[in-house]
Chains A and B, each alone.
Chain A
Amino acid sequence: MSENIEKKLATVKYNCDVHCHLHPNQADCLICESKCCEYVCPAHVYEWSEERQELMVNFENCLECGACKIACEKKSLGWEYPKGTKGVIFKQG
């Protein structure tokens, strides 16, 4: 992750869940050509690991915008809101 986005995300307050609310279909990710979730996500939640051949999901950084679900080339990204008490807490929105 670039230093630039890391610094930005450090300003965001979260109440992180231990359970992930984003569910990529890894079989689809494996054959997905664009892997566009890697760059449409404003919080750099997604990163393809060549080594593990798997889409890594840093869901703790999620800003809950929904861009990944809409952009997903395979239309197979399971996306739900974090539990009521969890997720991002914007203070300056």
Chain B
Amino acid sequence: METTTDVIVVGGGPAGISAAITIARAGLKVILIERGRFSGAKNVFGGAIYTKPTKEIFPDFETSAPLERKNIMHKYAILGEEDSTVVSYNNKNAEASSYTVIRAKFDRWMADEAKKAGVIIVEETVVKELIVEEGFVVGVKTELEDIGAKLVILADGVNSLLARQIGLRDDIETKDVALSVKEVIKLDKEKINDRFNLEDGEGCVYQLFGGSMLGKLGLGFLYTNENSVSIGLGITLNELTENKITPYELLEGIKKHPTIAPLIKGGELLEYSAHLIPEGGYKKIPQLCANGVMIAGDAAMLVDNLHWEGTNLAMISGKLAAETAIEAIEKNDFSEECLSAYSEKLENSFILKDLKAYRFLMEAAHDRRESFFGYYFKKINEFFESFTSVDSIPKREKYWNFLKNFVIGRNILEIFKDIWGVLKILWGIIVP
């Protein structure tokens, strides 16, 4: 191999860039290989980036990165056929916990920061396979040349063909990924401010339950950017195969809902996009390291889907992989045993603690999706419909009717199964 370096990072997203910049800052040589024309060209998310974890990698990002809006308003909307119930949490004065960003701009900015720190970034290049010698990953084969390294960090995203190549994980199953489709819709800044009750620079995040996905394991989202709105959804892939529906039909359903349609009315579609979200949870995390290689971010299934966290897990896992790489290079030991310090670091961080706390979540969500994502959402809207209607029916009678219908509409055994599912999730959260 003509070219050699200390560390090769595959993938120029949040995980890869965070890993590469941490290594470069320690004075080591690092090459980051990105398949897109630039970082962000192949990336899609909701989305928002989270302030605190981003500061761990880029302490001054709030003054220098291309940010859209600071999120001060979080809305949770349960969409019925035509009605909805919305809960909203707002705090204009709180420190910004997240900002909306456009990945093509933000990832590119991160990559520029990495370049300044000394990372060599090779764009428009696909890594075809890992080079393995005597049981150790010792480099990568790109379309053009072979590059050698002491260590390789895989941050090549949800499909991670390279992790599969060397057997760090099995084939992904349809229930372990959600397909996300998104539209970015252009709207004037003033219009966004008026419609969402915001001032300049302030943003609103909607989590959308039900609607066209009622009873299915999928959720919608809406984020405000400076001059556009991102609206989309994520739906577990097996819902599409089992129900024979397309993701864009579901998205049209959400966009047409009477609660959502006025928010995006008159907007011009700037871009349609799609991406997979790794949602297998704790039990589906692949082997995190092997001789000469570690795996971070989406490629390692590090997504906390309940809290819509992914980029933060990516950044921090990238950083932890990098710190492990730095230690390994000091010791000149690239064995799986030495690199298992990375798994330990993840175990001791919020990343695996959170994913472990929700270890029963996806199983229960899959099993009980028809009730958790359907029946109960319907009942919440029905309750408020009854609560807000003034029709000369005595209130006690209304409450009894609601309760009666609640039980009649649901087989008692099913209710027990639902309760069991909830208890199991809670057990996972409370008991380590």
Contacts and interface: CB of A to CB of B under 8 A. Distances in A.
A47 to B, nearest CB: 12
Contacts of A90: 40-44, 103-104, 271, 273
A15 B245 CA distance: 29
A39 B244 CA distance: 6
A4 B104 contact: no
Contacts of A75: 171
Interface stretch (A22-30, A48-56, A58-66): A58-66
A93 B45 contact: yes
Interface in B89-117: 102-104
B273 to A, nearest CB: 5
A92 B270 contact: yes
B247 interface: yes
Given A39-B245, A40-B240, A92 B269 contact: no
Contact of B174 (A64, A71, A87): A71
A11 B276 contact: no
Contacts of B123: 84
B269 A42 contact: no
A82 B104 CA distance: 19
Nearest to B175: A70
B276 A67 contact: yes
The CB with the most chain B CB atoms within 10 A, among A71, A75, A83, is that of: A71
A49 to B, nearest CB: 19
B202 interface: no
Contacts of A91: 102, 104, 270-271
Interface in B10-64: 35-37, 40-45
Contact of B179 (A65, A82, A93): A65
- Chain B residues touching A, majority SS: mixed
Contact of A42 (B43, B104, B274): B274
Given A39-B245, A70-B174, A70-B177, A9 B272 contact: yes
A20 interface: no
A80 B35 CA distance: 12
Contact of A65 (B36, B40, B143, B274): B274
A19 interface: no
B237 interface: yes
B184 interface: yes
Contacts of A11: 269-272
Nearest to A7: B269
Nearest to B272: A8
Given A11-B272, A70-B173, A85-B37, A80 B161 contact: yes
Contact of A4 (B124, B173, B252): B252
Size bracket of the B interface:
35 or more
A71 B237 contact: yes
Contacts of A66: 158-159, 276
Contact of A40 (B36, B104, B142, B241): B241
A1 B270 CA distance: 21
B226 to A, nearest CB: 12
Interface string B157-188: 01101000000000111100101011110000
B366 interface: no
Contact of B42 (A34, A83, A88): A88
A41 to B, nearest CB: 8
A81 B248 contact: no
A34 B142 CA distance: 36
B143 A12 contact: no
B126 interface: yes
A84 B252 contact: no
B241 A71 contact: yes
Given A11-B272, A42-B247, A89-B37, A84 B43 contact: no
B125 interface: yes
Nearest to B124: A84
Contacts of A34: 241, 244
The CB with the most chain A CB atoms within 10 A, among B102, B174, B274, is that of: B274
Given A39-B240, A66-B276, A90-B104, 17 more contacts: A11-B269, A11-B270, A36-B241, A39-B246, A42-B179, A42-B247, A63-B274, A65-B275, A65-B276, A66-B159, A67-B276, A70-B174, A75-B171, A81-B161, A83-B126, A92-B102, A93-B42
21 contacts: A5-B246, A9-B272, A12-B273, A39-B240, A40-B241, A42-B246, A42-B247, A44-B246, A67-B237, A70-B171, A70-B174, A70-B237, A81-B126, A84-B123, A84-B126, A85-B124, A90-B42, A91-B270, A91-B271, A92-B228, A93-B102
Interface of A: 4-5, 7-9, 11-12, 15, 34, 36, 39-44, 63-67, 69-71, 75, 80-85, 87-93
Interface of B: 35-37, 40-45, 102-104, 123-126, 142-143, 158-159, 161, 171-174, 177, 179, 181-184, 228, 230, 237, 240-241, 244-249, 252, 269-276
